[in-house]
Amino acid sequence: MRMAAQAEMLKPGEEGETLRELHLKVDMRFGSIKVVPKSDEGNDANFPRNLHNAAELFLRVGMIDPAERLREKTAAMLDLYADNPDGKTGLRIGRGVVCWSCGHCGVPKSGGDAKEKTPPGPCGNCGEVEQINWLRISLNKGENLPWIEAAPLSPKEAAKKKKAADAAKRAEIEANVKKALLERISSQSTES
């Protein structure tokens, strides 16, 4: 589903307002991920009942970055499930939360092994502890699934990954330069 919002943006040095239209593609499966209300939120008719509603709410109030973060993190989790993970390698698994401050969805910093009665949080992105709710991922059969996400890399792993990416980029640049030089030499020899 595609959602649109208009956000008012004031450009530096400009007077007045500039309107910008934003389209955010949200998977219909976001509706199967329920937002668990806290005890004082259950009767609020405006409370978003699922992550699809949450993305709509963020857009409606002009919180574009949180809407995009919610879409990105939730889509990444759904993609992990689509790849049929083994549940052991390189994943963090637990109860998920949604943060109303930054839009982050994922396992909280405290881990996702708490019971539903335990207050959720803190947010795995911004550390928020108040404006955060548990999530419940439900299948059609009523079975609940845990939130899964790629585990953060250790500093050593991150450095190794960066080094490999840098080496690959360097090899790509060198290959492009070599190709350009050969083309140049070839075109010069045909002109002569």
pLDDT for res 21? 58
Distance CA 165, CA 159 (A): 10
Q: What share of the chain is helix, strand, coil (3-state, %, to 5)?
A: 35, 20, 40
pLDDT for res 5? 45
Residue among 74, 71, 104, 77 nearest 92 (CA): 77
pLDDT for res 8? 44
The model scores a pTM over 0.85:
no
Residue among 52, 47, 49 nearest 25 (CA): 52
pLDDT for res 4? 45
DSSP type of residue 88: S
Show pLDDT as tens, one digit a residue, over the chain (192 residues): 444 444 444 445 555 554 555 566 777 888 889 999 988 887 888 899 999 999 999 988 989 999 999 999 999 999 888 887 776 677 888 889 999 999 999 999 877 666 667 788 799 899 999 999 999 998 667 778 889 988 877 788 878 888 999 999 999 999 999 999 999 888 887 776
